[in-house]
């Protein structure tokens, strides 16, 4: 087995013919590790990152595994520069379930080798910051063994999900009585208010208008939250346009629209891959709030997913209450930080001190 570090974008892009086949033969197979996602991310956000991709090949050249990483140079508090090793495709785009990729039949050999290589080359990075990993995934289980607990920090993130039965009626029976009643009630209310139409986007020519509508309704629904506004900066908008076009061409995009009299009042932007629907983003028109457009387009989304054989609806990160109203269960992903160098350990100590200082209540005034 040969291990190679690719630090040049052209070297990474040369992996395109092999990438998705390897992914599909791995336990890590999910939409956010596809070639389409990672290469689009590198196109739009790569100026801040340098690829740091470790490949494992057998003697005849067959690709056995990949650690899809990148290095970003950062400065803490304007004083302490450091090198952060992260997953390709992560951070701004908010993916979940990231991991190293290894063929199932050789994973027991390949996964430890990838992790060992990452650790042995820690002179090239100061802090490992891997987000949204499965707690029992390859990367986290292999890497944690190299580092004393005092130089690790981890944070668990809830990712609600719903197993899907074979029929909509079976799924409805899992919902609360009020939810079942309201779905029917608001279907009738919408029908009384105008010409109601549910559609799935299939025409690439409709994408620009649909994404612009999603952006507008997403920001309205989030009431101008800073995080929502930041998500839609210019590069992120361009990234989403490319992802939507690529996923549509591959049959992975599930973009649903609820319209009344030709006007969008509810949208869901989802990805369908490996019999799982990933619920990525939604938006609805506040003017129609009393008609429940968010709930109604969600019900339509689930019906369509069940109809095409999806076995799971993954709500991705976030503990919003509405997700659990759809009979969601909880699982966790992990954000892991590891300090490798003296600079990285100093940074981790500084952050711990700052967090502790911020958490300490001020002493009462004696004036």
At 132-190, the pLDDT tens digits run 888 888 888 899 888 888 889 888 999 999 999 999 999 999 999 999 999 999 999 99
pLDDT at 229: 59
Indicate the DSSP class of residue 136.
T
Q: Which of 246, 305, 257, 259 is nearest to 282 (CA)?
A: 257
Q: Are 17 and 146 members of one domain?
A: yes
Ramachandran region of residue 208, left (φ > 0), alpha (ψ -120 to 50) or beta? alpha
pLDDT at 128: 94
Torsion of the alpha carbons at 57, 61, 62 and 64, rounded to the nearest 10: 0
The phi, psi pair for 124, rounded to 5°, reads -100, 0
Q: Are 114 and 183 members of one domain?
A: no
Residue 307 to residue 17: CA distance in whole angstroms: 32
pLDDT at 360: 43
Residue 12 to residue 51: CA distance in whole angstroms: 7
Residue 221 to residue 279: CA distance in whole angstroms: 16
- Using alpha carbons, list the distances in angstroms from residue 197 to 211, 221, 260, 262, 277: 18, 20, 6, 8, 22
- Quick check: is 48 in a domain? yes
Residue 297's CATH number: 3.40.630.30
Q: Are 10 and 114 members of one domain?
A: yes
| C-alpha angle 49-53-56 in degrees, rounded to nearest 5 | 180
> CB–CB of 162/329 below 8 Å?
yes
Name the domain count of the chain. Answer: 2
pLDDT at 359: 44
The phi, psi pair for 7, rounded to 5°, reads -120, 10
Residue 344 to residue 127: CA distance in whole angstroms: 5
- Measure CA of the first residue to CA of the last residue in the chain; give whole Å: 71
Q: Are 12 and 106 members of one domain?
A: yes
pLDDT at 349: 86
Q: Are 187 and 273 members of one domain?
A: yes
- Quick check: is 174 in a domain? yes
Q: Give me the domain span that covers residue 211.
A: 165-310
pLDDT at 233: 82
Spans of the chain, pLDDT less than 50: 358-367
The phi, psi pair for 161, rounded to 5°, reads -150, 160
Residue 244 to residue 206: CA distance in whole angstroms: 11
Q: Are 216 and 256 members of one domain?
A: yes
pLDDT at 366: 35
Find the length of the chain.
Answer: 367
Q: Are 145 and 231 members of one domain?
A: no
Q: Are 13 and 117 members of one domain?
A: yes
Q: Are 116 and 218 members of one domain?
A: no
Q: Are 106 and 170 members of one domain?
A: no
Task: Identify the residue whose tokens are 């009979």.
Answer: 327
Residue 217 to residue 221: CA distance in whole angstroms: 6
C-alpha R_g of the chain: 23
- Using alpha carbons, list the distances in angstroms from residue 359 to 34, 65, 352, 354: 40, 43, 11, 9
Q: Are 264 and 286 members of one domain?
A: yes
Q: Are 197 and 248 members of one domain?
A: yes
For residue 167, the Cα-to-chain-centroid distance in whole angstroms is 27
Cβ contacts of residue 48 below 8 Å, gap of 6+? Answer: 72
Indicate the DSSP class of residue 196.
E
pLDDT at 225: 64
């Amino acid at each position: 087995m040969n291990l190679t570090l690719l630090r040049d974008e052209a070297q990474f892009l040369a992996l395109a013919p092999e990438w998705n086949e390897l992914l599909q033969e791995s336990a890590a197979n999910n939409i956010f590790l596809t070639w389409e996602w990672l290469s689009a991310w590198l196109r739009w956000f790569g100026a801040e990152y340098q690829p740091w991709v470790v490949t494992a090949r057998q003697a005849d050249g067959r690709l056995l595994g990949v650690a899809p990483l990148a290095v970003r140079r950062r400065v803490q508090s304007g004083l302490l520069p450091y090198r952060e090793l992260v997953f390709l495709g992560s951070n701004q785009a908010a993916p979940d379930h990231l991991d190293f990729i290894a063929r199932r039949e050789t994973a027991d050999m390949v996964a430890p080798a990838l992790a060992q290589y990452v650790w042995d080359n820690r002179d090239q990075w100061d802090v490992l910051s891997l987000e949204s990993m499965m707690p029992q995934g390859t990367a986290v289980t292999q890497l944690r063994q190299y580092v004393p607990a005092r130089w690790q920090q981890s944070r668990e993130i809830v990712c609600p999900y719903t197993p899907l039965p074979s029929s909509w009626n079976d799924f409805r029976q899992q919902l609360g009585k009020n939810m079942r009643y309201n779905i029917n009630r608001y279907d009738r209310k919408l029908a009384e208010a105008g010409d109601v139409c549910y559609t799935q986007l299939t025409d690439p020519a409709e994408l620009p208008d649909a994404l612009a509508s999603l952006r507008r309704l997403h920001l309205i629904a989030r009431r101008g939250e800073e995080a929502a506004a930041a998500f839609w900066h210019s590069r992120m908008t361009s990234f989403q346009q490319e992802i939507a076009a690529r996923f549509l061409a591959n049959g992975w995009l599930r973009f649903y629209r609820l319209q009344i009299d030709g006007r969008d009042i509810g949208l869901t932007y989802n990805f369908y891959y490996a019999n799982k629907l990933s619920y990525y983003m939604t938006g609805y028109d506040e003017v129609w709030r009393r008609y429940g457009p968010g709930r109604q387009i969600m019900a339509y989304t689930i019906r369509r997913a069940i109809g095409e054989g999806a076995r799971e609806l993954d709500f991705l990160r976030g503990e919003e209450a509405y997700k659990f109203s759809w009979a969601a269960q909880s699982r966790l992903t992990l954000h892991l930080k590891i300090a490798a160098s003296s600079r990285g350990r100093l940074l981790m100590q500084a952050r711990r001190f700052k967090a502790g200082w911020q958490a300490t209540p001020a002493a009462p005034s004696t004036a």
